[in-house]
Amino acid sequence: MKNISKRAAALAMTAAMTAGLLTGCGGAGSASGSAASGGDDVTTLTWYMSINPVAADTEKVIAKLNEYTREKIGVEIDYKVIANPDYKEKMPNLINAGEYFDICFTSNWTTDYLQFTGKDAFMDITELLPQYAKETYEFIPEAVWDAVKVNGSIYGVPSYKEMGWQGGIVYNSDMAEAYGIDMSTVKTLEDYTKVLEVVAEKSKAEGKNVVGVSGLTNAWPMAAPYESLTGNPKLPAAAAVPEFGNFQDVASQTVFNQYASEEYMNYCQTVRGWNKAGYLGGDPVNYDSDIANRDNDFNNGALFSYFIQYAPGTSESMSASSGHGVGFVALMDPLFETRSAMGGLLAISSASEHPDKALEFINLLNTDEYVGTLIRHGIEGEHYTAVGDNQVDKTMGGTLTDNGYDYTYGWQFGTPFNQKWDISYPDNIEQLFQEYNDSAVISPNNGFTFDAVPVETQVAALTNVISEYTPSLETGSVDPAEYIPKFLEAMQANGVDDLMKEVENQLTTFKSAK
Amino acid sequence: MKQSAKYAGGAYNKAGFLKTFKKNLPLTLMALPALIVMFLFRYLPMSGLLLAFKRFSVRKGIFGSDWVGLNNFQFLFQTSDAWVITRNTICYNVLFILMDLILAVAMAIGLSELLRKRRAKVYQTIFMAPYFLSWVVVSFMAFSLFSVDDGLFNHLLAYFGFQGVDWYSEPGKWPFILTFFQIWKTIGYSTVMYISSLTGISNDYYEAAIIDGATKWQQIKRITLPCLKPMMIVLTILAIGRIFYADFGLFFQLPRNSGPLYPATQVIDTYVYRALKETGNVGMAAAASLYQSIVGFVMVVGANLVVRRIEPDSALF
Amino acid sequence: MKLFKKVPEMPSDDLSINRISQKTNAVLNVVFLLWSLACVLPLALVVVVSFSSEQSIFQNGYSFFPSEWSLDAYRFFFKLGDQLIRSYGITIFVTVVGTLFSLAITAMFAYVLSRSDYAYNRLFTLLMLFTMLFNGGIVATYMVNTQMLGLGDSVWALILPMSLNAFYVIVLRTFYKSIPLEIIEAARIDGAGEFKTFFSIVLPLSKPGLATIGMFTTIAYWNDWFLGMLYIVDQKKYPVQTLLWSMQNSLEFMKQSSANALEYAEMAANAPTDSGRMALTVLVVLPILLAYPFFQKYFVKGLTVGGVKG
């Protein structure tokens, strides 16, 4: 009953909005018509974008972009580009204060998509999408659209890239070869113990003290992958993913606390063993907090391997930058869950006067290769030279640092499949992505977004408990047999049961609605 | 003008409001620019206090958002760490206030008594130096001292044949470390405040004391300290008003957010930061800040009351 | 009351009886010297590390004797070229205008509050104290400043919001209170109005206090990066602190997200993170440290107070 009325309301709203748009366009036509050279209506869209770092030649590129979009869809962009770390500070305040914008970048790591959707900051574009961004709507797989839905509605266009995340270990393959290690035998965390043993033994024999592995603060969900139901893998409330065949004893429960599982105990015991054996260096908790230091150790052969979330092409580019061979061993197939689609989205403000035009523009970013390549690589002949049909060379006879328009994370603008690739990528990169995405396991409750509002108090308290206990447990710095019970007790005292119950209730509602 | 100035103001004046207002007009005009700034930049935003009782919606704005009663405050009290957080915040602050008061006054007097004034100036400049370093930079420097593998301290310990210490996992050592760094960073600032206060003491007092044959120590006790008292009282009351606030950089950056250290480093500001990082709930942030404000307010009013009993002239209001 | 006995003219520095003994002096000097080391060594280390090569930092940690010197960190920031100069210009403007404005309104307000014969003394003191304890939070403040007052992306957003600090008002008020009311009375009897009394008699008497507050205000304006981060959208209008902070964070951001990013930029691979952080500190701290002695000249005992005698 409730659902029906909600839907009706949404429909009515869309209808009203479209009507408003029509009159709005008519009214604006006379005002802004004079500005356009051809006499057509030109809509100016304010776009707040987070990208790093802001390129020197941004204005030139945007001028070029506006030339094109004015012709094509009657849109000019008022481009407010802000470097990633600044955006994180600025944008939430801008939105909270009700500053006007049409399009903004959002994600789960900056200007949080779910948070601001919850605060009514973004527009529900479910109905508008097939109308104004048809190609994009069809191009992006349904599972991805499902993942960004909040209460059944879409509030942002995700950047479609690799589906989900894949945990594993990158390692110095030159060193592995020298020590005679066969990494293909490594399938699980336990298998890795033997490798670490060899590394420690052989490197000591050479008079070196090589740290075996780091990155353990991210390793636990890779060792025993689960679906994170809260959208934050650190918070308790998980569901088993049948394809991975783990969490057998609790798999029948809709929701379980991953920290209370046997798997967690096993993981902690394993790394405890590694820590005691000295494979992790003296201070595994802090080792990774200085990434620069870790990278340097890895490049210089002082660190053998570390845990990462892998994307196609990573090991190739890493071997280029590290000066030695880099291999990757996966601990799991890629897992696609709700949070995976939230690495980057473009959302439309709930106060936007031109959601139709904004969507048309976002559509270009994702499907018009000229626009995709322009916004990501700049102007041909000035910022890159085309190599074949699909690649670009950005060196322009100098170094990359001299290039006035060079972005590392082009996917923040839209799908990288709509942008030419840098020549540093393997030729078959799109195929690699395809394979990766085909092998991805889609989590059983994909599309379920947890609304934390009813249990915010508990989440707040639990977040603190978790950040107190997990770093030392998950790096083997303390004895799990003693500390896990303490940890569970602390969670109990801070309302873990309330959280789990709430997740379960919401999940049941979600499932029955499906 | 002369007349009005002579009897200027006094709320006890039985004359009407207008008359009082007129009499005080010149001084009111003098205060006006500050009052305007205060109104625009401090009082207009006070509407944000409402958010502590609301669930904020961007579309509805501050006034239109829905009321949620006291829900936003719950997370401050329902955590099992509530006691630890409160204890840490208050104990550290009491310690800092006392240390700062005693050391800064001692340093200011010491500096002003040095035989070579030029040297005093140089010291004073140097003592300010740590104040300019951000906590992030300080934390990196501290890490180069305390790092388990490469830290200077563990190298020294090893050199003298002792076992290395796992500095970032042993909470017992951190009350000392935190206090040291806090004092180290801020003492220069407070010292300057007291030095400039010392400068204001008339030489007549000392000259008279010397005629009476007072020793240096007696002069300090009878003249310097009493003259510094108003400043000491004011700075202390103001510090007490901030007793429920903690320097985020000190408690978060310096211990590198290390979990095992929480029993010694968890204070209200770090707790709130971690708690709200996930949810970004501005209502809960407002609630936490209001809670801190109210505690501060009660403390200041209390402290002022005590001061007014003992030393009415030095009271804030 | 013996204290107030008049003494014949006698410059204070010649009062040899009033000096501390050589022995006490030596002890004090040793203590201060040690503390100075604790203060100055870290700063020196910052300077040295900022000139060390990234490679030598990795090998030896932070060290006073790096195995290799390098200007990379500064080159990284100086690459900003005109932008850096423009940003310094903005910061200097903000600092100078901000300090003057802030000092002016603070000095007047504090004086008014220090006058026990002022009718609204208590009311305004309480109003101000209240702003020190309570604040509306960032959401409301941001709304007022950008939507109501239209300060977004403007240099005034960097100046006005922090121009009145209740703490400084109260400290300055305490200074004024040490000026005997008789002096003010005397000026009145001579026919001086409130403004004249304030500017020609009170202000000159409170130079040490004004210098202290002025210095703290200057430091606060100079060091502030957060207002720039909040209110300035266009990077070209960044004050220097915000600019450097943003550069440094971009660099660290790049390095930290390299592990799961699609690409690994050539730039990130050899950019100076550690030395960059220190170079940033040097670029920020040195100018303000150089300005310090300017304020300090008012702190030497006995410079000003002779005037109390009227």
The answer to whether the CB atoms of A54 and C235 lie below 8 A apart is: yes
The whole-number pLDDT of residue C114 equals 92
pLDDT in tens, C105-141: 999 999 999 998 899 999 999 999 999 999 999 999 9
Determine, yes or no, domain membership for B306: yes
Measured between CB atoms, does B80 come within 8 Å of chain A? yes
Instruction: List the CATH number of the domain containing B84.
Output: 1.10.3720.10
A143 and A192 belong to one structural domain = no
Determine, yes or no, domain membership for A179: yes
Nearest to C300 among B27, B51, B117 (CB): B117
**Mean pLDDT: which of A69-73, A288-292, A393-397, C55-59 is highest?**
A69-73
B137 and B265 belong to one structural domain = yes
Measured between CB atoms, does B147 come within 8 Å of chain C? yes
Chain A residues near residue C259 by CB distance under 8 angstroms: 215, 291, 306, 308-309
pTM for this structure?
Answer: 0.87
pLDDT of residue A356 exceeding 80: yes
Q: What is the ipTM of this complex?
A: 0.88
Mean pLDDT of C285-307: 64
Determine, yes or no, domain membership for B59: no
Which has the closest alpha carbon to B209: B217, B199, B219, B200?
B219
More confidently predicted of B282 and C181: B282
Phi/psi of residue B24, nearest 5 degrees: -95, 5
A174 and A109 belong to one structural domain = no
A173 and A309 belong to one structural domain = yes
Q: Which two tokens stand for residue A45?
A: 């869209």
Chain A residues near residue C234 by CB distance under 8 angstroms: 80
Q: Where are the domains of chain C?
A: 81-271
The whole-number pLDDT of residue C95 equals 95
Interface probe with C: pick from A59, A105, A291, A411, most Cβ of C within 10 Å: A291
Interface probe with C: pick from A52, A79, A405, A425, most Cβ of C within 10 Å: A52
Chain C nearest-CA residue for B145:
C62
CATH number of C81-271: 1.10.3720.10
B220 and B266 belong to one structural domain = yes
Determine, yes or no, domain membership for A150: yes
Chain A residues near residue C265 by CB distance under 8 angstroms: 400, 406, 408
Q: How many domains does chain B have?
A: 2
The whole-number pLDDT of residue C59 equals 74
Instruction: List the CATH number of the domain containing A87.
Output: 3.40.190.10
Determine, yes or no, domain membership for A54: yes
The whole-number pLDDT of residue B11 equals 47
Determine, yes or no, domain membership for A420: no
A172 and A317 belong to one structural domain = yes
Chain B residues near residue A291 by CB distance under 8 angstroms: none
The whole-number pLDDT of residue C274 equals 77
The whole-number pLDDT of residue B103 equals 97
pLDDT of residue A18 exceeding 70: no
The answer to whether the CB atoms of A121 and B149 lie below 8 A apart is: no
Mean pLDDT of A70-90: 93
Determine, yes or no, domain membership for B66: no
Residue ranges of A 420-449 with Cβ closer than 8 A to chain C: 422, 424-425
Determine, yes or no, domain membership for B120: yes
Interface contacts B/C by beta carbons within 8 Å: 313
Determine, yes or no, domain membership for A238: no
Lowest pLDDT segment from A115-119, B19-23, B148-152: B148-152
Determine, yes or no, domain membership for A390: no
Q: Give the DSSP letter string of chain C.
A: -GGG-------GGG-GGGSPPHHHHHHHHHHHHHHHHHHHHHHHHHHHHHTB-HHHHHHH-S-SS-SSB--HHHHHHHTTTHHHHHHHHHHHHHHHHHHHHHHHHHHHHHHHHH-TT-TTHHHHHHHHHHHHH---HHHHHHHIIIIIS--TTSTHHHHSTTS--HHHHHHHHHHHHTS-HHHHHHHHHTT--HHHHIIIIIHHHTHHHHHHHHHHHHHHHHH--HHHHHH--SGGG--HHHHHHHHHHHHHHHHHGGGGSS---HHHHT--SHHHHHHHHHHHHHHHHHHHHHHHTT-STTSSGGGGG-
Determine, yes or no, domain membership for B180: yes
Nearest to A285 among B60, B81, B168 (CB): B168
A175 and A294 belong to one structural domain = yes
The whole-number pLDDT of residue B9 equals 46
Task: Provide the domain limits for residue B286.
Answer: 71-314
Which has the closest alpha carbon to A57: A396, A365, A416, A343?
A396
Determine, yes or no, domain membership for A192: yes
The answer to whether the CB atoms of B234 and C171 lie below 8 A apart is: yes
B32 and B104 belong to one structural domain = no
A352 and A318 belong to one structural domain = no
pLDDT of residue A422 exceeding 50: yes
Q: How many domains does chain A have?
A: 2
Mean pLDDT of A157-167: 91
Measured between CB atoms, does A416 come within 8 Å of chain C? yes
pLDDT of residue B62 exceeding 60: yes
The answer to whether the CB atoms of A477 and B277 lie below 8 A apart is: no
Mean pLDDT of C163-188: 89
Which has the closest alpha carbon to A341: A156, A120, A95?
A156
pLDDT in tens, A360-380: 999 999 999 999 999 999 999
B168 and B302 belong to one structural domain = yes
Determine, yes or no, domain membership for B57: no
Interface probe with C: pick from A49, A50, A86, A394, most Cβ of C within 10 Å: A86
Determine, yes or no, domain membership for B171: yes
B159 and B244 belong to one structural domain = yes
Nearest to C164 among B34, B114, B290 (CB): B34
The answer to whether the CB atoms of C261 and A311 lie below 8 A apart is: yes
More confidently predicted of B12 and A415: A415
8 Å CB contact between B110 and C28: yes
Phi/psi of residue C297, nearest 5 degrees: -65, -15
The whole-number pLDDT of residue B258 equals 86
The whole-number pLDDT of residue C18 equals 64
Percent of chain C whose pLDDT exceeds 90: 40
A199 and A328 belong to one structural domain = yes
The residues on C that touch A, with CB distances below 8 Å, are 58, 138-139, 142-143, 146-147, 152, 229-230, 233-235, 246-247, 249-250, 252-269, 273-274
Nearest to C138 among A93, A310, A416 (CB): A93
A271 and A187 belong to one structural domain = yes
**Residue B30 pLDDT grade (very low, low, confident, very high; cuts 50, 70, 90):** very high
A357 and A322 belong to one structural domain = no
Which amino acid is present at A283? D
Determine, yes or no, domain membership for A241: no
Residue ranges of A 418-477 with Cβ closer than 8 A to chain B: 452-453, 456-461, 463-465, 467-472, 477
B31 and B85 belong to one structural domain = no
Which amino acid is present at C215? M
The answer to whether the CB atoms of B216 and C18 lie below 8 A apart is: yes
Task: Provide the domain limits for residue A208.
Answer: 166-224+261-333
B32 and B117 belong to one structural domain = no
pLDDT of residue C6 exceeding 60: no
A188 and A326 belong to one structural domain = yes
A218 and A288 belong to one structural domain = yes
Lowest pLDDT segment from A456-465, B13-22, B198-207, C115-124: B13-22
8 Å CB contact between A381 and C227: no
Interface contacts A/B by beta carbons within 8 Å: 112
A214 and A297 belong to one structural domain = yes
Residue C142 CA to residue C152 CA, distance in Å, equals: 9
Of the CA atoms within 13 Å of residue A167, those in its CB half-sphere come to 20
